[in-house]
Amino acid sequence: MTYAEPDDMIAPVDIIAPDSVRTLDTDYIAGLALPRPADGHKGTFGSLLVWAGSAGMAGAAYMCSAAACRSGVGIVHLWIPKELMTPMFIAIPQAVSHAIPESVFTAREELTALLPRMTSCVIGPGLDPTKFFTRDMVLFMAQNAKKLIVDASALTIIAREPEVFKPIFAARAEKGLSMAIFTPHPGEFSRLVPGWEKEVRIQGAETFSKEWNVVLVLKGHQTVVCTPAGECYINSTGNDGLAKGGSGDVLSGLIGSLAAQGMSPGDAAAAGVFLHGLAGDLAASELGKRYMQPTDLFSFFTEAFRHCRWE
C-alpha cells in the first residue's frame, strides 16, 4: 500500500467539550508510543489472552485476536470453545489456541495456570451470556487477570449483577491488579447504568469510571475515555463507517494488545480508540463508509501507526 498523509484525506473534527476534557490528537498519541528495542523478542512485547467466540460467533474471536496480532503484541493466546479450534487455527495460525474445558472447576484450574503468564486479557466478544459457566468465568477473570479489557457479552453479564461485580472491580488494586478497561457501546452502557441519557455522555462516563474504579471507553460518535483519576478524553477520529458489527471486537483486541505491551490502562484505551478511529478514517477515504468492513481496518493499521509516528 502506498503511504499517504492522512491529514490530506481526513477533514478535522470540531469538538465542543468542557475545558477539563482533552481532545485526543496525533501529537498526544505520538507521545504514548512504546519503544520496540532491536533486540526484543516475543516475550518483550507481552502476551495477550483473548476469551471470545461461541457457536455462530467465531468472527468475534477472529477480529479481536487479529487486531491484537496486527498491533505489536508478542503472542496471542485464544481461549475458545472446542468447536472453534480448527476454524481459528486456519484463520489465525500464529495464535496459540486453548479449548475451554467443559466444567467450571477444570476451567478455573486451567486459568490459574495460564493467567500468571499473560500480561493482559480481553474477555467478552461473541461469548454466550446465557450460560452460568460464562458468568462464573467472568467473575474469575475479574478477580485474577493482571490487566483486563471487558467488552460485549461480559458487560451484559456484569450489568445483571452490579452488586456482585462492582466491589470486585473497585478492589482490584488491593490485589495488585491493574484497573480494568470497560468498552461499552451506548446500549451496553444503558444496561450498566439504568436511566442513563446519551445527552450526558461525558458526565455519565466520568461518574461510572470513578464509582467502579475502571477506565471507561464509551463508544460511539466522539468516543469518550475516562479514568478514575478524573482524566477525560474525547476522540477526534472515526466515522459512521465504523458503525457495523465487529468494529468493537477490533477495538478491544487493539486496546488489549497495547496493554499487553506495557501501556497503562488509561494510555492503552486512549491510544487504541484514536488509532482505531484513524484506521477507520483511512479505510473510509479509500473504500467508502458504506463499503468498508471491520476486517478492512487491519490493512490501515500501518498507516495509522506511521501517522502517529509509532513506525
The domain limits of the chain are 20-31+39-307
| Res 299: pLDDT | 97
Rounded average pLDDT over 59-73:
98
Rounded average pLDDT over 187-192:
97
| Res 244: pLDDT | 97
Rounded average pLDDT over 64-90:
97
Write phi, then psi, for 244 (nearest 5 degrees): -145, 150
Give me 7's grid cell: 491529514
pLDDT at residue 83 above 80? yes
pLDDT level of residue 2 (50, 70, 90 thresholds): very low
pLDDT at residue 202 above 90? yes
| Res 199: pLDDT | 86
Percentage of the chain surpassing pLDDT 70? 94
pLDDT at residue 284 above 80? yes
- pLDDT, tens digit, for every residue of 115-151? 999 999 999 999 999 988 999 999 999 999 999 999 9
pLDDT, mean over the chain? 94
- pLDDT, tens digit, for every residue of 261-275? 999 999 999 999 999
| Res 269: pLDDT | 98
Rounded average pLDDT over 206-214:
97
pLDDT level of residue 8 (50, 70, 90 thresholds): very low
Determine the CATH number of domain 20-31+39-307. Answer: 3.40.1190.20
Rounded average pLDDT over 275-287:
98
| Res 6: pLDDT | 47
Give me 275's grid cell: 488509532
